[in-house]
Structure 1
């Protein structure tokens, strides 16, 4: 059961989803036709010492037919391209909301003068810092770590870390919004809007547009039960209370919005559409990734 004041680290609660995503990024990196190269992901998984996640790296066949694994390369590349496209327009500050084990500050070829802010829970970022220091990792941009709960007053902490609210920014909320309660979800959009000057960019993932929440919850529960990671029912981590539709809200607040389905991303990146069970294939044709420009 989710509670408003709960906390987590990399091995508990929502933090576990960061390890799951890192595992899939590490597995994508091993593919002969990999869309990404994320050597950092394996570092994080190994450092967690959790056999639920280290085992698939030793034997990828354990997860090769899992729906999320087939989509991770597409989603990661989408956000990689989003940040680099924003930087190409002249933006020099990017914010990764719910950064988890995202290593884009290290992986991407950022232009000179770029600052990347990573926001997440203190315990998650402490784990991340420890692993990166152990490997003597070097960033390709100025990195600012903002250890704060996104359900709280994170804009103040972000500005204190050096964010300039008078300059355009690129924002990402990848795999984040469904884990926020409705109030925090809606406040997040308001705060991004307030901190974004004209020329700002935003990218995020959501549940498929138009999806029936009850049907989606049932499908998630079904596939959680057979998760190779033994995580239990991950649907317990997802908030289903009332919230605004992000794309509609942003459109009403002067953002130009474009949405993409998994199948569309597969076409863009020259990959065959994921081979999914019928009940999931329908969702792959609905929009789940969104870019908004102010």
Structure 2
């Protein structure tokens, strides 16, 4: 099999799967994903992603340390969204926007008749289906995949796949908004609101707004030079819409959760050194780049 980049798959999707594999290997794991390791191994990436929690994480190499730290955040995020889906009355439909290598359709218990829609690029969905097919894995719900680009209009492909806007829906926006520019984020959120029948709900990972300071502008210029992205493209992500504001104005009931709150709830520190929690008044440095989460009920 060709390596990940040759397949055109995003490294971020693989990194998240690797994070779930690491968490699954932990004796105190917040998430059990029996498919994550196979997805990482099948990609044969040139990046040496960790897939298990080391006996001494503080001795990890300089490359592995940030990846292990990322796995802690991925574990907390994944468990929070899993718990959201398991709480409250189930909706007949669930839509994962930017599903990536997510395996919730295969590993979570779903109520009878539940339908799950996964939206992402065709190559991502095809890669995942191929790996899971070779494992003889079967979804635990009625699964429909929708191959489309979420930075472009996606309502019609979703409707064509059988989505019913008159039925309550659970929406999952995990690791999506930070990768869209502000205009595309606004478009996605407005579409979610427009397609949601009463009784719908959503869990959304926020994009982080960038403060307009000289220091931040200088960092953005450096980032632009390093990545080859134009400054206008970088700045297009600088002032994202607030999902809570938008959905509240549309009549939804919203709640916000910081990364620090979720770390406390799941007794995890964003640190390789200390098993205990960080001080309640101090947000971990790695958490400062995160925007937290919004849950919403219509």
Correspondence for 1:246 among 243, 248, 257: 243
Inter-partner Cα distance in structure 1 for 2:219 and 2:144:
38
Give the structure with higher Rg (CA): 2
Aligned counterpart for 2:85 among listed residues 77, 80, 83: 83
| Distance change >3 Å, CA 217–CA 144, structure 1 → 2 | farther
2:141 aligned residue:
141
Closer, same or farther: CA 187–46 of 1 in aligned 2, 3 Å: same
How far is 1:217 from its partner? Answer: 8.9
User: Are residues 1:27 and 2:27 paired?
Assistant: no
Say if 1:168 and 1:197, in contact at 8 Å, map to a contact too: yes
1:272–1:134 distance in 2 versus 1, CA, 3 Å: closer
Q: Write the mapping of 1:68-79 to structure 2, written as runs, cut at 5 A.
A: 68-79=70-81
Q: Deviations over 1:112-163 (max 9, x none)?
A: 1110000001111111111111111111111001111112221111111111
Q: Which residue does the alignment assign to 1:4? A: none
Structure 1 distance, partners of 2:168, 2:146, is: 19
For the pair 1:260 / 2:257, whether they are aligned, the reply is yes
What is the aligned counterpart of 2:295 among 280, 291, 294? Answer: 291
Matches within 5 A, 1:166-181: 166-181=166-181
Shift of 1:242: 4.0
TM-score by length of 1: 0.81
Q: Which residue of 1 aligns with 2:152?
A: 152
Q: CA deviation at 1:213?
A: 6.7
How far 1:281 moved relative to its partner?
A: 1.6
Query: Closer, same or farther in 2 for the Cα pair 1:250/1:76, shift >3 Å?
Result: same
RMSD: 3.4
Look up the SS of the partner of 1:149 in the other structure: coil
- Aligned pair partner of 1:275 in 271, 275, 278: 271
Counterpart for residue 18 of structure 1: 13
What SS does the aligned partner of 1:43 have?
helix
Task: Describe the shift of the 1:44–1:213 C-alpha distance in structure 2 as closer, same or farther (beyond 3 A).
Answer: farther
Deviation of residue 234 (structure 1)?
Answer: 11
State the alpha-carbon separation in 1 of the partners of residues 134 and 121 from structure 2.
20
